[in-house]
Structure 1
Amino acid sequence: MAKSAEIHALVRRHYIFDRLSLEQAAGMANVAYTTAKRWKEKAAAAGDDWDKVRSASTLAGGDVEQLSRQILTEMLVQFNAVLDMIKTDIDMPAAKRVELMSSLMDNIHKSMSAMRKFLPEANSLSIGMTVLRGLAEFVQERYPQHGSILVEILEPFGDVLPKILADAK
């Protein structure tokens, strides 16, 4: 049975930010060690090396920065949960999809703005989210009939946005 994104993020958070061993992190989240190990290896293959993030977090130190990273992680988990809901609810009207996306992006933008001074790397993501939020609002106001098309485009675009922003540095 597949584990939720929240459980996955919980294991990651315990391992990286709480500095628990992978076995302990898995136990805290009621996940088998082999599952947690597979998630960690899969994440590393995708460019999210938990050990490097853990080391960077340890070197950076500071309770405020650690809390900011945890909040950012949780926020991204919630973002993905809402995206999954939008993708799976085939009866949801296009206008409602655009409204949810716009609201979600607005909340992320506000959170990222607050964290910008603690996490400078979040700034480029914040700028990207501001642009996407503006686009969603623009389409909702001027071209509501195209809302479903925008959602169809934005969902896969979210997968490439971090690489685009990383390349822009």
Structure 2
Amino acid sequence: MAHGQDTRDRLRRLYVLERISLEIAALQCAISQSTASRWKREALDKGDDWDKLRAAHLLAGDGIEAVARAALAGFMTQYQATMDALNANPDIPPEKKVQILASLADSFNKTVAASKRVLPETSQLATAMEVVQKLAGFIRERYPKHAQAFVEVLEPFGEELARVYG
């Protein structure tokens, strides 16, 4: 199905100016994710870098704090998607789930550490997540038989941490 320039322009506007993820923007424009990705790639090939424009718009409009919050929010979206995938796939061995969770917690800590200088309120959340990461490693190394129970408890506990620490 051929889409007009209006659809391309709307996709670009949603992604760049309204900061909607490419996946959601594609849904709103009634196009496939692959089409949206292709259009974005084609625009880049022509010198229209949507990601740079998105970042510049964010900086110009809301400042560096908003950029840090957006990065943290983007990571949290990926974090939740990974948690959903882990919970939806019962075939992943508990030891592997704990390994993935530890890696995810490490990535979270790195993302938070990068934003801490700009967003001091993330410091408490970073500390809480570091404790969770250390606990995941401890369970993986010393109590692998409890890995499944840890995975079951971790998601609701993560939601509680997010509620308490923001």
The CA distance in 1 between the partners of 2:26 and 2:129, in whole Å, is 30
Which structure 2 residues correspond to residues 68-79 of structure 1 after superposition, within 5 A?
Answer: 68-79=68-79
Partner secondary structure for residue 28 of structure 2: coil
Deviations 1:23-58 (A, max 9, x none): xxxx945428xxxxxxxxxxxxxxxxxxxxxxxx99
Identity %: 33
Deviations 1:71-128 (A, max 9, x none): 1111001100110111011010000000000000001001101110111221121111
Shift of residue 68 of structure 1?
A: 1.3
CA distance in 2, matches of 1:18, 1:120: 27
Give unpaired runs (5+ residues) of structure 2: 1-13, 30-57
CA RMSD of aligned residues (A): 3.0
Q: How many residues align structurally?
A: 124
**Separation in 2 of the partners of 1:29 and 1:123?**
35
Alignment match, 2:163: 163
Give 1:2-81 correspondences, 5 Å limit. Answer: 18=17, 28-31=25-28, 61-62=62-63, 64-81=64-81
Distance 1:162 1:81 in 2: 15
TM-score (norm: length of structure 2): 0.64
In 2, the alpha carbon distance for the partners of 1:75 and 1:123 equals: 16
The answer to whether residue 110 in structure 2 is matched with residue 110 in structure 1 is yes
Q: How big is the shift at 1:156?
A: 1.4
The aligned amino acid for 1:31 is Q
Cα distance in structure 1, aligned partners of 2:27 and 2:163: 32
Which residue of structure 1 aligns with residue 137 of structure 2? Answer: 137
Cα distance in structure 2, aligned partners of 1:164 and 1:67: 22
- Separation (CA, whole Å) in 1 of partners of 2:99 and 2:163: 26
